[in-house]
Amino acid sequence: MSECIRITRQQSRFVASVLGAAALAACVSLAACSKKSAAASSTPTSKPAQTARYSATDYFEQSPGKPGGILKVSVSSDTGTLDLHAISHTNAQWLGRLLFDNLVYLDDQGQPSPWLAKSWEIAEDGKTYTFHLRDDVSFSDGSKFNAEALRINLEHMRDPATKSPLAAAYIAPYVNGEILGEYTFRAHLRDSYAPFLNVLAQSWLAMESPKALTENPKGFGAAPIGSGPFVVESYTRQQGLRLVRRADYHWAPDFIKHRGPALLDRIEFDFVQEPLVRFSSLAVGQYDLTIDAPPQNAAAIRADRGLLFDSRIRQGNPNRALAFNTVKFPFDDVRVRKAIALSMDREGIVRVTGFGEYEAKSDFLAENTRYYDPAYKDALKQNIPEANRLLDEAGFTGRDGEGIRTNKEGKRLSAEVLLNNAQTPSPVVVALQSDAKKVGVELKLVQRPTTELTDRRRNGDYQAMGAGVWHTNTPDGLYIVYDSDEITSEKRVGQNISRLSDPELDKFLAEARASQSDDERRRLYSAAQKRLTELVPAIPLHENYTLTARKNDVKGVLYDTSHNTIVFTAAWLDR
């Protein structure tokens, strides 16, 4: 899920004072064993780091709270649509838990557990999943959740008319569904696909009303119908969203231990783009909670006895400074790619741009993702002597009058980094540009309109691009971003903007997808992580965070096990 780092005017001035005056011109932009039901899942042998960093009690209700009240929330941006199948927006992560439900939920160990599906069986070959569904769930328009509803949702996710940038890719192995009874559904996959249950737990793959999808597909984004704990009362794009509690809701996922409807009467969301306004309006009590707490105000929030601050790492791919086009000069040479990665003072950049809230990252999988291997965490840390050695080895031993390296034919080691001009530029790529120049590499920052950027990305007409993140609750995010099948072609738009094609990496990722063995997947994903530090298709920057702040009388806040974002079902006001 590609995102831009949004830098405020305040932050830009601060960065400029630290890094020096520069033209800011960048936009950074599991499966169960065969024939094992959910109820019979054994204790996992591979524990993700999620519970090592965060308390397990963050994920389920400790005791029932007091019903009633209105929660007022500020959010940095609108999603543009409330049809979660049609977007990859970050806000869909927490929004999905308000309006919709999913087939399965993850427990705090990253294992699929029941939600709308009571249990399931997986065939020995990993290609057939049989789901046994709850029979007491309805959407807010009165339509039933049943096997036919599940079938319609899966078809809607992959319908070309939906233009799904995420859900369709995640269920790409799905071939068709078979209705065995009103509440029994069998999904047939083209290949064994171990992450299938994990991706079905993500908010972008939530269950939407089959009646609304069939009768009013074009209007669904403005007037969504779900089976979740809250119902949309009003939605005004770029302004706000008003939700009311659904009184008959009683099917929250078993794992969060909440019974019955949500506790809050209403939640009122306002879209507030300016970070300083989100902070100040929270501090004076205009809002009870902000989903996007500004990192530059984190210290002030922590110092306020009436406020609570929380920083959490999302699973999947970390934030990347940029992605190389690995088939274009000069980044078709891995030595050049690795040299630039080794030239980067990411600790310094992250310290400045994240105001001390972010951890620098020089490998390719978030630390709390299942099968993360810390063995390669230092592989791309700054190493100027090694960067210079690699560039010499690549044949760029000369220097011109500006200090830029040249090869024996006199060709300069220069490349364009293609960026979006729609937003305030980020200092991250400016700092990277400065670091690269110190080892003799010229990175020219070129901003272009979104339409041109889209066309050039589709055609592979760039040397490097701002990259952002791709969050997911499974290490299969590495497949989405780096497998050769995900290179954009005439047939499909893929997410492999590095245009990386490496048979060895493809083999690791394909075998991990197909394996039904926990130990084997751990080995394969470790090998894939090692291989990526050798190939360097992109430059990792820092972990991908969700930062929230709230008044300390907002109780019962839980965090979702897939996204590490807020779940409001058990939230209540202690007033």
Dump pLDDT digits (tens) for 381-438.
999 999 999 999 999 999 999 999 999 999 999 999 999 876 545 788 899 999 999 9
DSSP 330-352: TTTSHHHHHHHHHH--HHHHHHH
**pLDDT for 468:** 79
In this predicted structure, the answer to whether residue 34 has a pLDDT above a threshold of 60 is no
As a three-state string, the secondary structure of 481-502 is HHCHHHCCCCCCCCCCCCCCCC
In this predicted structure, the answer to whether residue 267 has a pLDDT above a threshold of 70 is yes
Tokens 């394969």, residue located:
524
The average confidence (pLDDT) of the chain is 90
In this predicted structure, the answer to whether residue 12 has a pLDDT above a threshold of 80 is no
**pLDDT for 325:** 98
Q: What is the pLDDT of residues 349-388, one digit of tens each?
A: 999 989 999 999 999 999 999 999 999 999 999 999 999 9
**pLDDT for 423:** 55
In this predicted structure, the answer to whether residue 545 has a pLDDT above a threshold of 70 is yes
Q: Where are the beta strands (DSSP E) in 400-517?
A: 405-406, 414-420, 442-448, 464-465, 468-471
Q: What is the pLDDT of residues 158-185, one digit of tens each?
A: 999 999 988 998 999 999 999 999 999 9
Give the Cα separation of 262 and 243 in Å (integer): 12
Number of H helices, E strands in the chain: 17, 25
Percent over 90 (pLDDT), the chain: 83
Q: What is the pLDDT of residues 203-216, one digit of tens each?
A: 999 999 999 999 99
> Helices 9-19 and 427-438 sit at what angle, rounded to 10 degrees?
20
Average pLDDT over residues 283-299: 96
Give the Cα separation of 295 and 354 in Å (integer): 6
Work out whether the CA dihedral 402, 331, 419, 477 comes out positive or negative: negative
Phi–psi pair at 322, nearest 5 degrees: -165, 165
263: which DSSP letter?
S
Residue-range domain boundaries for the chain: 9-29+317-543, 62-76+229-314+544-575, 98-216
Tokens 């057939």, residue located:
128
Q: What's the CATH architecture for 98-216?
A: 3-Layer(aba) Sandwich (3.40)
Q: Where are the beta strands (DSSP E) in 134-274?
A: 174-181, 184-189, 230-236, 240-245, 266-271
Q: Which residues contact 236 (CB under 8 A, 6 or more apart)?
A: none
Give the Cα separation of 192 and 302 in Å (integer): 47
According to CATH, the superfamily of the domain at 9-29+317-543 is: Dipeptide-binding Protein; Domain 3 (3.10.105.10)
CA 160 vs. chain centroid, Å, equals 22
Residue 213 buriedness (CB in 10 A; 0-12 / 13-18 / 19+) = buried
Alpha-carbon torsion, ordered 191, 183, 85, 477, to 10 deg: -40
**pLDDT for 420:** 86
- First-residue to last-residue Cα distance in the chain: 38
Percent over 70 (pLDDT), the chain: 90
What is the value of pTM for the model shown?
Answer: 0.87
In this predicted structure, the answer to whether residue 39 has a pLDDT above a threshold of 50 is no
In this predicted structure, the answer to whether residue 16 has a pLDDT above a threshold of 90 is no
> Helices 275-283 and 9-19 sit at what angle, rounded to 10 degrees?
120
DSSP 42-109: PPPSS--THHHHS-GGGGS-SS------EEEEEES---S-S-GGG---TTHHHHHHHH-B-SEEE-TT
Give the Cα separation of 26 and 492 in Å (integer): 27
In this predicted structure, the answer to whether residue 3 has a pLDDT above a threshold of 50 is no
**pLDDT for 493:** 78
Gyration radius from the chain CA atoms: 24
Average pLDDT over residues 57-74: 96
In this predicted structure, the answer to whether residue 6 has a pLDDT above a threshold of 70 is no
In this predicted structure, the answer to whether residue 440 has a pLDDT above a threshold of 70 is yes
For 33, how many CA atoms within 13 A lie in the half-sphere containing its CB?
12
Q: How confident is the model at residue 50 (pLDDT cuts 50, 70, 90)?
A: very low
3-class DSSP assignment, residue 39? helix
Class of domain 62-76+229-314+544-575: alpha beta
In this predicted structure, the answer to whether residue 491 has a pLDDT above a threshold of 60 is yes
Average pLDDT over residues 57-86: 96
387 touches 340 (CB < 8 A): yes
Q: Hey, do 9-29+317-543 and 62-76+229-314+544-575 end up sharing a CATH topology, with the first three levels equal?
A: no
Six-digit token string for 273: 């783009």
Q: Containing H/E element for 160? A: none
Tokens 């009467």, residue located:
265
Q: What is the pLDDT of residues 307-324, one digit of tens each?
A: 999 999 999 999 999 999
